[in-house]
Amino acid sequence: MGEALDLPRNEDGIAAAAGILKQRFGEKFQTGQSVREQHGHTTTWIVNQAPDAVVFAQSTEDVAAIVRVCAEHKVPVIGYGTGTSLEGQVNAPAGGICVDLSEMSQIVAVHPEDLDCVVQPGVTREQLNTYLRDKGLFFPIDPGANASLGGMTATRASGTNAVRYGTMKDNVLALEVVLPSGEIIRTATRAKKSSAGYDLTRLMVGAEGTLGIITQITLKLQGIPEAMSSARCSFETVDAACQAVMATIQYGVPVARIELLDEKSVEAANTYSGLDLPISPLLLLEFHGSEASVAEQAEIFGEIAGDVGGSGFEWTTKAEDRNKLWQARHDMYWATLALRPGAKGISTDVCVPISRLAECVTAAQDKAAELGLLAPIVGHVGDGNFHALPLIDMENPDEVAAGAAFISWLNDLAISMDGTCTGEHGIGQGKKPYLRRELGGAVSVMEAIKAAIDPDDIMNPGKIVG
Amino acid sequence: MGEALDLPRNEDGIAAAAGILKQRFGEKFQTGQSVREQHGHTTTWIVNQAPDAVVFAQSTEDVAAIVRVCAEHKVPVIGYGTGTSLEGQVNAPAGGICVDLSEMSQIVAVHPEDLDCVVQPGVTREQLNTYLRDKGLFFPIDPGANASLGGMTATRASGTNAVRYGTMKDNVLALEVVLPSGEIIRTATRAKKSSAGYDLTRLMVGAEGTLGIITQITLKLQGIPEAMSSARCSFETVDAACQAVMATIQYGVPVARIELLDEKSVEAANTYSGLDLPISPLLLLEFHGSEASVAEQAEIFGEIAGDVGGSGFEWTTKAEDRNKLWQARHDMYWATLALRPGAKGISTDVCVPISRLAECVTAAQDKAAELGLLAPIVGHVGDGNFHALPLIDMENPDEVAAGAAFISWLNDLAISMDGTCTGEHGIGQGKKPYLRRELGGAVSVMEAIKAAIDPDDIMNPGKIVG
């Protein structure tokens, strides 16, 4: 656990490419150990595999130039945004050049009448939303971390309000991509829909930088709703909470967020965020719409929750109360880690058909208990996606083994329920063994596509396929 | 115009494959001229290029067996649903075997609690919706024709309510596909969202059968809304109507349909459907939601329309009135043809950013007038997509040339506005020249993918790429 395979290194090629890039990029080309390690994998249990050098790109032309040098010398190229990915996506198992895109952070254009915008990949979602606020617009995808939009695109990120607004695949209209050859393409236009050939936009979204480096993104935007309200409700069991979720969605309530915290997560939130929630499975909700519509939505949910024994139902449109609740939800990762200082949290990310959700969550709780693991659960339950976060003492080999067993067991359980091992974190290095268990022969098609577009395997090698 | 390139035929291979398939499929294997021509292209101006034989597949295993025989003999395989595509998608320019999937018409499973279902490709959208009605569910994508869901998937179809529910790309969860090798893969699971590797589902949606034959589809479903209302409103100009559309969408009204008819289309609808609408640009709308919500939506739209000089605004929740209005909209293709009996209607399908829509529609009207063409316009204007339908006397070479000039000019105009030559009809044979003008070097990536997955080019050759 925590091991990541090393791949063969092309030492001569790396040395040659580094020499050329150093010449061209001057102080934007860096090889200091701390910079390199900071660009390897720092946020997960997967070991850090640092690149040989980091280049801070300023433009699409910079990226194309870097890629052309690397292509000529058959050297790996790894795109980097904010480094918040969770499955080893930015590690460099064969060494190579990391292209840091964080300085490509311009908001190129906003088209309010078309509800879209064009951004460079280093723009973060908070930066974009701050910029959009006084235009009455927002970009809805919210994975928690203040990730870069390039990284969110590359991992097909989603988060708490995907239940209403979809994932990155639903919110990217077009991409500019530097291919492994250094050629720059554009995958689509600003038209809201298109049947113009193969959907290269959706192929690049979620490809984790293995088919090219994203250098510009055209995103759909939303108008800021007239009203927002938040609600919370406690349930006796996870099953009852999931029943309420299913009924709410089947009823057609256009809920914007519907999040589950299990007992342990509620306990963590109370301690970390100074709340006083009943220690019991909890749903947090958010509704967007007109004043009348958010009131109606909350009311319908309240009735549904009451039918399955929900208690302590409260809702509010007050921004202060709403923010407190959602800040607590956003802080859950840190709140959970605080339950066991010094332990490493290893995020799982299964997503199952919603009819199997209660069974899957409950089984995960039981399995963690059986293995002696503390593994609080939070979930984007409107989509059937949840994260169990086993807290592991990495110095204790038995515990590490139990953690590994838990992850493997949970991924296989989700797959057996016609679900996926990853709803939003991606495959990276960590989930490669599960991809084939989940999709079988389809993985060979992915390999064929990878080989066709990147025959020398220079684009983020060792991730997803290969 | 109307010409479709012939491709080289592999006569020996076709004869050998036909012999084997005849043996295996008996009376499900047919070579009669009328059957073959009915499976070539009948609904468009593109010339009919019939396949050499048609096999009526009964199962995925049948499809895999047919494809394996064709792969061995390097013979084209063309999937066929209901034959309602508009760009030559089912033509056989190199001959070969048509796989008719219409008898694979089972609804395999419906999962109401997950809001999804699994269908065979020959199921039509009306068949599915009839089946779902008493479960309180519906499948929202409505391209007008009672197309097969396999065909709708393959062309990335959409239609009148894409503005709310998206296109086929947004409503397909997973596919079973027979690859050009005859191997059967599944592209995804029933999870509502996934980051598990390359998005092969979205790659196959819209690939027009050039990468494989779709043999099973997992679709998202919607609950039938508690209430539906329809509205209509006339405007003095196309520009005013488009201003109302933009404002409605920017305001966040979750309109389910918002359709434009220009003056000529209104005239056609009045005559064909016995209506008495004012001869002026018209918007038809539909709202879905709770009783309160549809009333609120209609009211907001009414105010917006009033601000830009809309007149004759009426709305209704009466099913009878709603159906009459929407039946007229659905009959527009026939109503338009009836304006000039004997003429061929040639559908265009551009889609532009909504801020450019009024300009694009008005320019199309002016250009048609300049060329002496009668070309009524209807549009899915919430998405910026519209169809001008020049009515051409195919016996008059000057008129045919004018029609061709109009189409070419309009596609180029849309592309110059950062739009697409096809919002929902696909590339097929008819739009291949425009694909490269629109997407440039990205087409080479499509060609590389095609070559990697279908190296012998047996899957629907001559469409999209190649």
Most A CBs within 10 A among B184, B193, B202, B437, hence the mutation to make, goes to B193
Residue A363, sorted as left (phi over 0), alpha (psi -120 to 50) or beta, turns out to be: alpha
> Are B163 and B211 members of one domain?
yes
Q: How many domains does chain A have?
A: 3
Q: What is the pLDDT of residue B212?
A: 98
| B365 shares its domain with B423 | yes
Whether residue A324 lies inside any domain: the answer is: yes
Are A449 and B449 within 8 A, CB to CB? Answer: yes
Q: Based on the domain organization, do B182 and B124 belong to the same domain?
A: yes
My answer on whether B193 and B260 are in the same domain is no
The CATH number given to whatever domain includes residue B347 is 3.30.70.2740
Domain assignment of residue B25, yes or no = no
Chain A residues with beta carbon closer than 8 angstroms to that of B426: 195
Are B397 and B303 part of one and the same domain?
Answer: no
Considering the domain boundaries, does residue B416 fall inside one?
A: yes
Q: Which two tokens stand for residue A281?
A: 């499975």
* Section A37-59 average pLDDT: 92
Residue (of B460, B163, B153, B463) closest to B283 by Cα position: B163
* Domain range enclosing A374: 340-425
Contact between B141 and B162 under an 8 Å Cβ cutoff? The reply is: yes
Identify the closest residue of chain A to B221 by CA–CA distance.
Answer: A250
In a domain, B112, yes or no: yes
Asked if residue A80 is part of any domain, the answer here is no
Q: How many angstroms separate the CA of residue A184 from the nearest CA in chain B?
A: 8
Identify all chain A residues contacting B412, using CB atoms and an 8 Å cutoff: none
Q: What percent of chain B has pLDDT above 90?
A: 92
Contacts 24+ apart (CB under 8 A), A50-53: A50/A92, A51/A76, A51/A78, A51/A92, A51/A95, A51/A96, A51/A97, A51/A98, A52/A14, A52/A18, A52/A92, A52/A95, A52/A96, A52/A97, A53/A18, A53/A21, A53/A22, A53/A29, A53/A97, A53/A98
Residue A153 makes CB contacts below 8 A (sequence gap 6+) with A121, A168, A172, A175, A204, A205, A214, A217
CA distance B370 to chain A (A): 27
* CA-CA-CA-CA torsion sign (B310, B311, B312, B314): positive
**Which residues have C-beta within 8 Å of that of residue A217, sequence separation ≥ 6?**
A118, A119, A120, A121, A149, A150, A153, A172, A174, A175, A176
Strand order across the A77-80 sheet: A29-30, A53-56, A97-100, A77-80
In this structure, are B280 and B319 located in the same domain? yes
B86-115 average pLDDT score = 97
Residues B309 and B237 in one domain: yes
The domain boundary residue, chosen from A291, A310, A335:
A335
Tell me the Cα Rg of chain A.
22
Which residue shows structure tokens 């598990």? B196
A311 contact partners, CB below 8 Å, separation of at least 6: A233, A234, A235, A236, A278
In a domain, B72, yes or no: no
What confidence tier does B4 reach under pLDDT thresholds 50, 70, 90?
low
pLDDT of residue B325: 86
> How does residue A235 score in pLDDT terms, banded at 50, 70 and 90?
very high
B419 touches B350 (CB < 8 A): yes
Smallest Cβ distance to B114: which of A354, A427, A431?
Answer: A354
Q: Is the pLDDT of residue A244 over 90?
A: yes
pLDDT in tens, A121-142: 999 999 999 999 999 999 999 9
d(CA B130, CA B138): 9
- Residue B102, Ramachandran bin (φ over 0: left; ψ between -120 and 50: alpha; else beta): alpha
- Is there a single domain that holds both residue A119 and residue A203? yes
Q: Which of A111, A195, A452 sits opposite B156 (nearest CB)?
A: A195
Tell me, yes or no, whether A246 and A273 share the same domain: yes
pLDDT recorded at residue B322: 85
Mean pLDDT computed over every residue of chain B? 95
Boundary residue ending a domain (A223, A241, A258): A223
Q: Comparing B327 with A26, which gets the higher pLDDT?
A: A26
- Is residue B214 domain-shared with residue B135, that is, in the same domain? yes
Domain boundary among B335, B369, B394: B335
Is B398 part of any domain? yes
| A56 has pLDDT over 90 | yes
| pLDDT tens sequence across B259-300 | 999 999 999 999 999 999 999 999 999 999 989 889 999 999
Do B285 and B245 reside in the same domain of the chain? yes
pLDDT of residue A2: 55
Average pLDDT over residues B172-188: 98
Position B169 confidence tier, pLDDT thresholds 50, 70, 90:
very high
Based on its alpha-carbon atoms, the radius of gyration of chain B, rounded to whole angstroms, reads 22
Q: Are residues B218 and B308 in the same domain?
A: no
In a domain, A100, yes or no: no
